[in-house]
Amino acid sequence: MRLKQLRYIHEIVRHGLNISAAADALYTSQSGISKQIRMLEDELGVEIFIRSGKSLAQLTPAGEMILEAIARLLEEERNIRAIAADHASQEQGQLAIATTQTQAKHALPAVIRKFRERYPGVTLQMHQGTPLQIAELAARGQVDLAIATEGIEHFEDLVMIPCYRWNRCVVVPHNHPLAESQPLTLEALSAYPLVTYLFGFTGRSRLDEAFQAAGLRPNVVFTATDAEVIKTYVRLGLGVGIIAKMSFDPDQDHGLIALDAGHLFSPSTTNLGIRRGTHLRSFMYEFIRLFAPHITPEVIAQMSRARTNEARREVCTALEKALESMHSPLSGQTVE
């Protein structure tokens, strides 16, 4: 049994049992992969795949169990390489982060600048996508860290740790009637067409929950994944914008004003997702410290040991309470 053979099986399954696609990803030949799989099956005395002609149809029951063991072995291989690399050089390596556009544009630039100053020899990779895509990348071990507000809590393979809390603002042109509406209410908002985030992005669920609890049905006429797009259409008069407060810059967002909406909506929490069992290199811990100082190696270890949902909730609840008195890494102001 060779590690190369196990990697072939893992890659084939990752590519939907398409040997050709797996061969392209591994920069090898389709025939070479097929031969190696047959050799492994002969050695083990069991078939891993059910075949249909020359194609692979599905995993056998034994193959399903073998695949789980392969995933664990490949994870440990990555950990061994990471441990060795950390001892060989703590100043060089690669850090892959998956996050949303809002986090990439507003929450991470200052952190990345400081990190680059500290670790110029570390290559940074930024992957942007939907919260579901972000979580999947981390769960598969294709990125080191996932940073998102929605979605990543549904993946059991991820250790999810609260980073910071934030709330929303309502964005309108200077001469809009809502600018004079004090205090701002959900009833007043529901009288106008709304422009906000697509469902599943940037804490959108909190917005929907607030209107539903008030017995109101918001008139959402336009949705987008990016606050800049939302602000553009507010300027065009399409409706009233509801965005993350961190996404509004009074020095750059000319023609618009932001009305605080922290009293209307429950705060959202941005989370850090780490694949369970992953060895984090020292510079990865430093990046986490720069982004969320309260997430120490001890906190990560505690979350990694929490195997039940109840145990994880206990740790997260304690962290959430701590966040209430902490300061936002974005503005220096107490997060609502």
Q: What is the CATH number of domain 168-260?
A: 3.40.190.10
CATH 3.40.190.10 fits 89-165+268-324, yes or no: yes
Say what the pTM is: 0.70
CATH class (in words) of the domain with range 3-86: mainly alpha
**3-86 and 89-165+268-324: same fold?**
no
State the SS3 of the chain: CCHHHHHHHHHHHHCCCCHHHHHHHHCCCHHHHHHHHHHHHHHHCCCCEEEECCEEEEECHHHHHHHHHHHHHHHHHHHHHHHHHHHHCCCCEEEEEEECHHHHHHHCHHHHHHHHHHCCCEEEEEEECCHHHHHHHHHCCCCCEEEECCCHHHCCCEEEEEEEEECEEEEEECCCHHHHCCCCCHHHHHCCEEEEECCCCCCHHHHHHHHHHCCCCCEEEEEECCHHHHHHHHHCCCCEEEEEHHHCCCCCCCCEEEEECCCCCCCEEEEEEEECCCCCCHHHHHHHHHHCCCCCHHHHHHHHHCCCHHHHHHHHHHHHHHHHCCECCCCCCECC
What pLDDT does residue 309 have? 64
Identify which of 245, 148, 167 has the alpha carbon closest to the alpha carbon of residue 206.
Answer: 167
Q: Are 178 and 241 in contact (CB under 8 A)?
A: no
Domain boundaries, given as residue ranges, for the chain = 3-86, 89-165+268-324, 168-260
What does the pLDDT look like over 292-325, one tens digit per residue? Answer: 998 888 888 887 777 666 766 676 777 776 666 5
pLDDT tens digit sequence for 245-277: 999 999 999 999 999 999 999 888 898 999 887
- Residues in contact with 304: Cβ distance below 8 Å, sequence separation at least 6, in sequence order: 159, 274, 276, 277
**pLDDT attached to residue 176:** 92
pLDDT at 153: 62
Please check whether residue 298 is in contact with residue 140, taking contact to mean a CB–CB distance below 8 angstroms. no
Amino acid 334: pLDDT: 35
pLDDT tens over the chain, length 336 residues: 888 899 899 889 988 999 999 998 888 998 999 999 999 999 999 999 999 888 899 999 999 999 989 888 887 888 787 777 776 766 788 999 999 888 999 999 999 999 999 999 999 999 998 888 898 888 888 899 999 887 666 667 788 888 888 999 999 999 899 988 778 999 999 999 999 998 767 677 888 899 999 999 999 999 998 899 999 999 999 999 999 999 999 999 999 999 999 999 988 889 899 988 788 899 999 999 999 998 888 888 887 777 666 766 676 777 776 666 554 544 333 333
**Beta-bridge partner residues of 270:** 164
Buried-state track 32-55, b at ≥16 Cβ within 10 A, e below 16: ebbebbeebbeeeeeebbeeeeee
End-to-end CA distance of the chain, in Å? 56
